[in-house]
């Protein structure tokens, strides 16, 4: 009897040759049927920056032309002369995002076409608990009902869909890397953890080697003990395999920009791993301290919250400079998430309590640089006195899944459990498919009458037979009604649509991966 | 749980339940909550120790094997009052200057350095209490409450005075088995808590809602049982409290004590959960009356109106901590019976724990070995298992993401599978291997002689497996471990008495077996 007999069939056998499917090699003893067909069809990468505590949107993108702002915040506002105007707009950046920031800060990033700013991001029935609201953001599922458990992330579910044999088969490179901490719900799925946490590649390399256990998986697990055993066994195997992969990329990669201390170091590590050729799809980093109940800012625009903004902006600007100089700026898109904004009015501790809608940043060479949405309405609040949201928080997720990961609308709806309209912050990198809608009188599709009393007709000309969908969304991006989804022949088509309530809506026609949008209103 | 089911259940769920009747989730009952009266087997006794203490010692296993669960639990819970025999050091009574206002950077750094070294001495003191604890389970319970009523040493840009954290630890220790409602009242005006969640900056006119929200969301009834209006009104009730944490700052009640600052208290009437807390005059705006008539009344209203929600919320947290930390797999029947016990005993904690630890459910095979060891259970448990100390436990705790009295945020440690990741698992493996490899021949020879039938190699192997691993292993693995004891020569059991006469060979066999077990996934479970 010897140790060899403990080695099992499904472990990562050291001799196993990687199978390469759609650009993402997998280590497997099982056949490639474990994979979805369209998995990882490009080398695009996403970086998600979590600002924990609830970032104060009003003191990030400053409504400096609104007197209400100064009345609500006599002690902690940004004086108008000192706020940094985004050229040709009534939108102002907090000076901490620009001054003493690498390469001209977020203003330059925006002017170079590498930054999108989204105003008033939030969701229906805002939850003011850090934890529930964080869960809502990370899961991509908007449910304030505490009885609905949220324990998987939208990124975890995206990966899970494409890895049916996980964890018996694991990808050769980690799917996702989280810098530090315990693994975020974002990367969790029902099948297990879809990412790894990484602190220090050298120490990981030294400690991780050879950790794949001799003991076999329970296959299938039939009770909770066996489920937990398998979970740990998978982490052990990932530690073993990925410690070597990460180290190789780390040693091969480089940084060509000096990064600030603190938060920026997380992005520095990410940049170096990408530079070294690691094929991970998602990186996550974390910044705490945004729960600014007390002493958030002094009258000179300095203080605790401004220094957080400064660190954030420095990190992003240094990373972008590094990425562009090294030539991988094209394949990276980053976004910030934060569970909520703060109350519009300051509290008695020179701080702000938990609020609702806030701002979001999306950065990268392939963003559609713009400010999305209007400055917050500081006269009409929610019943609880909070800022009303204008853009559903999942719209950027849809942009990523659709434009960046090239998932189908059906898949995206299944991942998010709801149909949400894209915001359009991200450009597709390569567009090889032809446009099949032929504009008529200069417009790809016509909606008549508009405004209507509830009934109108959508018409368009299709060049070749294809699948077409027509969906009505509210202005915040959540689907109101699915009008049509099916195959159509070439030619001129008319689709009637009926909306039951008065209001402003957005009709989106999708054909062959292209989207055509028309705003309309209904008065019944 | 399948995903389609999840999404279907999500459709249209936006209602806020503001009654005191928690929704019952899918019932998955595995065993009943009736009292187990049969004596504990050796394996059951070890299971109880794994969960209620920081891990078994051979002496404790021998001591409680054969007792009924009730006898064993009474022994482990011990008396209400347990006072540690040592303190972290004389610094606990010496206030430092507040580094916040100090102009000289050198002096500021010096004081902050002192606060950090005092904090480290506090954590080391507590880790040592855990390691040397005898037959009572008070340290594990203290840790439970410390992770519930969180306070962080470092929060935002501040350092919390370690003197206050020490006092909060003593408070929790004192109340750990007593009345939960009294504990909530104590913690509400606890100096560390007042510092941590903005209580000391909670002023009339513009209240700071931080503590008021967490009092309900995280500390008592949980989300869904209060309105945003309740948060705002509770914050008003709690205006005006201050605490001393530093030298040269006011200390009307003494250093490190809470006091009342009437000018900052909102004397107008408040509406909380449908009840009115009346306004007061300047005459009655003083420490004892506001404490009695507002703070205590606020907590009374909360516990009256939300008794069931609170009982269920705390029972669930206990269940997660002591039985299974997977939130999706809480036994509903257990939860209901625990909650009923908690309410009918007017929120006394001891009867709730006795109910849980003596139940048939607690000893059922369905819950054995399902718990992922927390860093404290892993590191302290390993040291207790053999009886020798590991150097620099505090640094390893940091690497494993459990900084005592400094959890990641106000909700405490997220627990369950977050404890094990590619960042922490390699450290666990390395620390365990070097601990077991480093044990001396003498220690190992003494260690195995604490097991009743150590002269029989088969029995000893079984007992060691049961002692270190929570669930029986396959016969193949058992055979493998037995062969390691025998020195991997040939499988002649009758060699064992000869080997036992050679301390070097004995130690080598035992050491190899312990190292092998520590590498197995189930060594991380308890």
Q: Is residue B3 part of a domain?
A: no
The CA distance from A122 to A391, in Å, is: 6
pLDDT digits (tens, 9 = 90+) for A478-501: 999 999 999 999 999 999 999 999
- B156–A384 CB contact, under 8 Å: no
pLDDT number for residue B27? 46
Nearest C-alpha of chain B: how many angstroms from A240?
Answer: 9
Architecture of domain A45-416 in this structure: 3-Layer(aba) Sandwich (3.40)
Q: Is residue B329 part of a domain?
A: no
Confidence of residue B30 (pLDDT cuts 50, 70, 90): low
Q: What is the mean pLDDT of residues B425-430?
A: 96
Q: Are A126 and A356 in contact (CB under 8 A)?
A: yes
Q: Is residue B26 part of a domain?
A: no
Q: For residue A515, is pLDDT > 90?
A: no
Nearest C-alpha of chain A: how many angstroms from B209?
Answer: 7
Note whether A411 contacts B: Cβ–Cβ < 8 A.
no
Q: For residue B10, is pLDDT > 70?
A: no
Architecture of domain A437-522 in this structure: Sandwich (2.60)
DSSP lists the bridge partners of residue A492 as A461
Q: For residue A452, is pLDDT > 50?
A: yes
pLDDT number for residue B2? 42
3-state secondary structure of B8: helix
The CA distance from B10 to B3, in Å, is: 11
pLDDT number for residue B422? 94
Q: For residue B158, is pLDDT > 90?
A: no
The CA distance from B303 to B347, in Å, is: 9
Confidence of residue A24 (pLDDT cuts 50, 70, 90): very low
Q: For residue B270, is pLDDT > 90?
A: yes
Question: Which residue in B364, B423, B431 has the most chain A C-beta atoms within 10 A of its own C-beta, making it the best mutation to test that interface?
Answer: B423
Residue A176 token pair? 């996702």
**Same domain flag for B276 and B385:** no
The CA distance from B15 to B373, in Å, is: 37
- A232–B525 CB contact, under 8 Å: yes
**Residue A45 CB contacts under 8 Å (≥ 6 apart), including other chains:** A274, A280, A281, A282, A283, A331, A332, A333
- Spell out the domain ranges in chain A: 45-416, 437-522
Lowest-confidence region among A33-37, B73-77, B473-477:
A33-37
pLDDT number for residue A442? 84
Note whether B262 contacts A: Cβ–Cβ < 8 A.
no
pLDDT number for residue A37? 34
Confidence of residue A50 (pLDDT cuts 50, 70, 90): very high
Q: Are A36 and A407 in contact (CB under 8 A)?
A: no
Q: What is the mean pLDDT of chain A?
A: 89
Residue A294 token pair? 């007390």
Out of B272, B289, B308, a domain closes at B308
Lowest-confidence region among A8-17, B83-92, B301-310:
A8-17
Which residue in the set B14, B206, B427 is minimally distant from A144, CB to CB? B14
Q: What is the mean pLDDT of residues A196-220?
A: 93
pLDDT digits (tens, 9 = 90+) for A167-184: 888 888 999 999 988 899
Q: For residue B262, is pLDDT > 80?
A: yes
- Cα Rg of chain B (Å, integer): 26
Query: Cα–Cα distances in Å, from B151 out to A136, B155, B410?
Result: 25, 9, 7
Q: Are A278 and A326 in contact (CB under 8 A)?
A: no
Q: Which residue, B168, B175, B217, is CA-closest to B190? A: B168
3-state secondary structure of A283: strand
Nearest C-alpha of chain B: how many angstroms from A128?
Answer: 8
The CA distance from B144 to B53, in Å, is: 11
The CA distance from A307 to A314, in Å, is: 10
- B409–A292 CB contact, under 8 Å: no
Which of A:354-373 have CB within 8 Å of B? 354
- By CB neighbour count within 10 A (0-12 exposed, 13-18 middle, 19+ buried), where does B159 fall? buried
pLDDT digits (tens, 9 = 90+) for B365-423: 999 999 999 999 999 999 999 999 999 999 999 999 999 999 999 999 999 999 999 99
Q: Which residue, A98, A66, A76, is CA-closest to A301? A: A76
Note whether B401 contacts A: Cβ–Cβ < 8 A.
yes
pLDDT number for residue B249? 94
Q: Is residue B464 part of a domain?
A: yes
Nearest C-alpha of chain B: how many angstroms from A148?
Answer: 7
Torsions phi, psi of B483, nearest 5?
-65, -30
Q: Kind and range of the H or E element at B506?
A: helix B503-519
Question: Which residue in A54, A160, A215 has the most chain B C-beta atoms within 10 A of its own C-beta, making it the best mutation to test that interface?
Answer: A215
Q: Is the dihedral of CA A69, A75, A78, A82 positive or negative?
A: positive
Q: What is the mean pLDDT of chain B?
A: 92
Which residue in the set A6, A196, A354 is minimally distant from B421, CB to CB? A196
Q: Is residue B259 part of a domain?
A: yes
Note whether A151 contacts B: Cβ–Cβ < 8 A.
yes
Q: Between β-strands A92-93 and A61-62, what pairing exists: parallel, antiparallel or unpaired?
A: antiparallel
pLDDT number for residue A25? 45
pLDDT number for residue B491? 61
Out of B308, B329, B360, a domain closes at B308
Query: Token pair 């434009």 is at which residue?
Result: A403
Residue A428 token pair? 């597709």
Q: What is the mean pLDDT of residues A14-31?
A: 38
Q: For residue A26, is pLDDT > 70?
A: no
DSSP lists the bridge partners of residue B12 as none
Note whether A478 contacts B: Cβ–Cβ < 8 A.
no
Residue B398 token pair? 């940091």
Question: Which residue in B398, B422, B516 has the most chain A C-beta atoms within 10 A of its own C-beta, making it the best mutation to test that interface?
Answer: B422
pLDDT number for residue B7? 40
Q: Are B405 and B146 in contact (CB under 8 A)?
A: yes
Q: Is residue B432 part of a domain?
A: yes
Which residue in the set B203, B366, B371 is minimally distant from A348, CB to CB? B203
Q: Kind and range of the H or E element at A111?
A: helix A105-111
Looking at per-residue pLDDT, the higher value among A18 and B20 belongs to B20
Residue B224 with chain A: CB contacts under 8 Å: 145-147
**Residue A52 CB contacts under 8 Å (≥ 6 apart), including other chains:** A130, A134, A286, A287, A288, A289, A290, A291, A338, A339, B409
pLDDT number for residue B493? 82
pLDDT number for residue A29? 37
**Same domain flag for B299 and B383:** no
Which residue in the set B218, B426, B522 is minimally distant from A229, CB to CB? B522
Confidence of residue A9 (pLDDT cuts 50, 70, 90): very low
Which of A:224-243 have CB within 8 Å of B? 224-225, 228-233, 235-236, 238-239, 242-243
Q: For residue A36, is pLDDT > 50?
A: no
- B201–A294 CB contact, under 8 Å: yes
3-state secondary structure of A228: helix
Q: Give the residue numbers spanning the domain of B501.
A: 375-524
Q: Is residue B467 part of a domain?
A: yes
Out of B308, B327, B342, a domain closes at B308
Confidence of residue A30 (pLDDT cuts 50, 70, 90): very low
**Residue B442 CB contacts under 8 Å (≥ 6 apart), including other chains:** B503
Confidence of residue A19 (pLDDT cuts 50, 70, 90): very low
Q: In this predicted complex, what is the ipTM?
A: 0.94
The CA distance from A442 to A438, in Å, is: 9
How many A-B residue pairs are in contact by the CB < 8 A criterion?
A: 199
Nearest C-alpha of chain A: how many angstroms from B198?
Answer: 7
Largest CA distance in chain A: 82
Note whether A186 contacts B: Cβ–Cβ < 8 A.
no
Q: What percent of chain B has pLDDT over 90?
A: 86
Which residue in the set A124, A151, A294 is minimally distant from B328, CB to CB? A151
Q: What is the number of domains present in chain B?
A: 2
Q: What percent of chain A has pLDDT over 70?
A: 92
Nearest C-alpha of chain A: how many angstroms from B524?
Answer: 8
Note whether B157 contacts A: Cβ–Cβ < 8 A.
yes
3-state secondary structure of A486: strand
The CA distance from A399 to A403, in Å, is: 5
Residue A378 token pair? 């500081």
Residue B179 token pair? 């009345």
pLDDT digits (tens, 9 = 90+) for B189-238: 999 999 999 999 999 998 999 999 999 999 999 999 999 999 999 999 99
Residue B79, number of CB atoms within 10 A of its CB = 8
């Amino acid at each position: 009897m010897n140790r060899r007999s403990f080695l099992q069939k499904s472990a990562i056998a050291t001799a196993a040759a990687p199978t390469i499917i759609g650009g993402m090699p997998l280590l497997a003893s099982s056949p490639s049927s474990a994979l979805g067909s369209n998995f990882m069809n490009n080398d695009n990468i996403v970086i998600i920056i979590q600002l924990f505590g609830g970032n104060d949107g009003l003191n990030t993108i400053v409504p400096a032309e609104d007197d209400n702002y100064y009345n609500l915040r006599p002690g902690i506002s940004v004086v108008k002369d000192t706020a940094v105007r985004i050229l040709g707009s009534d939108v102002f950046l907090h000076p901490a995002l620009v001054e003493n920031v690498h390469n001209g800060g977020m203003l330059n990033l925006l002017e170079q076409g590498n930054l999108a700013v989204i105003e008033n991001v939030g969701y229906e029935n805002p939850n003011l608990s850090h934890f529930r609201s964080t869960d809502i953001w990370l899961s991509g599922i908007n449910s304030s009902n505490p009885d609905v458990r949220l324990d998987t992330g939208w990124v975890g579910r995206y990966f899970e869909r494409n890895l049916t044999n996980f964890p018996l088969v694991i990808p050769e490179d980690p799917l996702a890397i989280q810098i530090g901490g315990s693994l975020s719900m974002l990367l969790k799925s029902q099948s297990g953890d879809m990412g790894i946490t990484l602190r220090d590649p050298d120490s990981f390399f030294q400690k991780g080697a050879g950790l794949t256990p001799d003991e076999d998986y329970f296959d299938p697990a039939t009770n909770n003990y066996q489920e937990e055993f398998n979970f740990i066994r998978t982490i052990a195997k990932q530690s073993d395999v990925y410690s070597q992969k990460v180290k190789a990329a780390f040693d091969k990669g480089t940084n060509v920009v000096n990064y600030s201390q603190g938060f920026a170091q997380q992005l520095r590590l990410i940049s170096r791993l990408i530079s070294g050729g690691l094929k991970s799809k998602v990186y996550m980093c974390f910044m705490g301290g945004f729960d600014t109940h007390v002493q958030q800012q002094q009258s000179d625009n300095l203080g605790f919250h401004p220094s957080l903004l400064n660190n954030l902006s420095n990190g992003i600007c240094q990373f972008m400079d590094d990425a562009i100089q090294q030539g991988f700026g094209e394949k990276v898109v980053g976004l910030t998430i934060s569970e909520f904004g703060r109350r519009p009015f300051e509290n008695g501790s020179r701080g702000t309590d938990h609020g609702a809608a806030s701002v979001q940043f999306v950065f990268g060479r392939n963003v559609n640089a713009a400010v999305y949405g209007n400055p917050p309405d500081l006269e009409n609040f929610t019943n609880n006195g909070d800022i009303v949201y204008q853009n559903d928080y999942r719209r950027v997720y849809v942009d990523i899944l659709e434009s960046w990961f090239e998932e189908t609308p059906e898949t995206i709806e299944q991942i998010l459990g709801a149909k949400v309209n894209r915001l359009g912050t991200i450009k597709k990198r390569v567009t090889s498919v032809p446009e099949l809608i032929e504009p008529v009188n200069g417009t790809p599709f016509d909606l008549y009458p508009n405004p209507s009393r509830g009934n109108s007709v959508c018409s368009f000309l299709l060049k070749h037979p294809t699948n077409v969908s027509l969906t009505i969304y509210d202005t915040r991006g959540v689907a109101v009604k699915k009008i049509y989804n099916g195959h159509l022949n070439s030619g001129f088509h008319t689709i009637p649509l009926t909306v039951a309530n008065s209001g402003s809506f957005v009709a989106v026609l999708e054909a062959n991966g292209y989207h055509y949008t028309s705003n309309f209103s209904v008065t019944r | 749980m399948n995903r389609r089911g999840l999404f279907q259940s999500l459709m249209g769920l936006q209602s806020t339940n503001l009654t005191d009747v928690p929704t019952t989730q899918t019932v998955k009952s595995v065993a009943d909550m009736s009292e187990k009266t049969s004596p504990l087997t050796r394996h059951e006794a070890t299971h109880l120790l794994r969960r209620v203490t920081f891990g078994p010692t051979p002496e404790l296993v021998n001591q409680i094997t054969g007792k009924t669960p009730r006898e064993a639990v009474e022994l482990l819970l011990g008396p209400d009052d347990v006072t540690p025999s040592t303190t972290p050091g004389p610094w606990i009574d010496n206030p430092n200057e507040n580094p916040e206002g100090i102009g000289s950077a050198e002096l500021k750094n010096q004081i902050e350095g002192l606060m950090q070294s005092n904090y480290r001495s506090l954590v080391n003191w507590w880790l040592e209490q855990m390691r040397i604890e005898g037959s009572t389970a008070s340290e594990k319970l203290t840790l439970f409450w410390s992770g519930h009523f969180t306070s962080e040493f470092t929060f935002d840009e501040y350092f919390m005075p370690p003197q206050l954290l020490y006092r909060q630890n003593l408070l929790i220790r004192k109340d750990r088995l007593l009345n939960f409602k009294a504990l909530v009242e104590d913690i509400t005006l606890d100096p560390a808590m007042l510092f941590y969640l903005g209580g000391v900056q909670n002023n009339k006119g513009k209240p700071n809602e931080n503590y008021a929200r967490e009092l309900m969301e995280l500390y008592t009834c949980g989300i869904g049982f209060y309105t945003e209006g309740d948060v705002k009104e509770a914050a008003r009730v709690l205006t005006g409290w201050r605490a001393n944490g530093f030298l040269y700052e006011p200390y009307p009640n003494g250093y490190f004590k809470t006091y009342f600052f009437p000018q900052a208290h909102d004397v107008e009437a408040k509406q909380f959960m449908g009840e009115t807390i009346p306004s007061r005059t300047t005459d009655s705006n003083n420490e004892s009356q506001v404490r009695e008539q507002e703070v205590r009344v606020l907590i009374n209203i909360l516990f009256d109106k939300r008794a069931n929600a609170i009982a269920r919320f705390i029972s669930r947290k206990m269940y997660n901590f002591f039985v299974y930390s997977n939130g999706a797999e809480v036994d509903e029947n257990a939860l209901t019976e625990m909650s009923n016990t908690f309410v009918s005993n007017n929120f006394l904690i001891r009867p709730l724990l006795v109910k849980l630890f003596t139940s048939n459910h607690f000893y059922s095979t369905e819950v054995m070995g399902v718990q992922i060891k927390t860093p404290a259970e892993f590191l302290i448990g390993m040291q207790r298992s053999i009886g020798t100390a590991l150097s620099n436990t505090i640094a390893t705790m940091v690497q494993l993401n459990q900084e005592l009295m400094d959890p990641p945020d106000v909700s405490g440690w997220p627990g369950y599978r977050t404890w094990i990741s590619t960042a922490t698992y390699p450290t666990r493996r390395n620390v365990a291997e070097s601990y077991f490899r480093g044990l001396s021949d003498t220690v190992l020879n003494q260690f195995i002689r604490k097991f009743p039938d150590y002269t029989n190699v088969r029995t000893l192997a079984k007992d060691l497996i049961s002692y270190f691993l929570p669930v029986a292993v396959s016969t193949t693995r058992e055979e493998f471990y037995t062969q390691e004891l025998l020195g991997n020569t040939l499988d002649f059991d009758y060699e064992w008495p000869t080997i036992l006469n050679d301390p070097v060979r004995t130690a080598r066999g035992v050491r190899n077996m312990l190292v092998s077990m520590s590498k197995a996934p189930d060594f991380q479970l308890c």
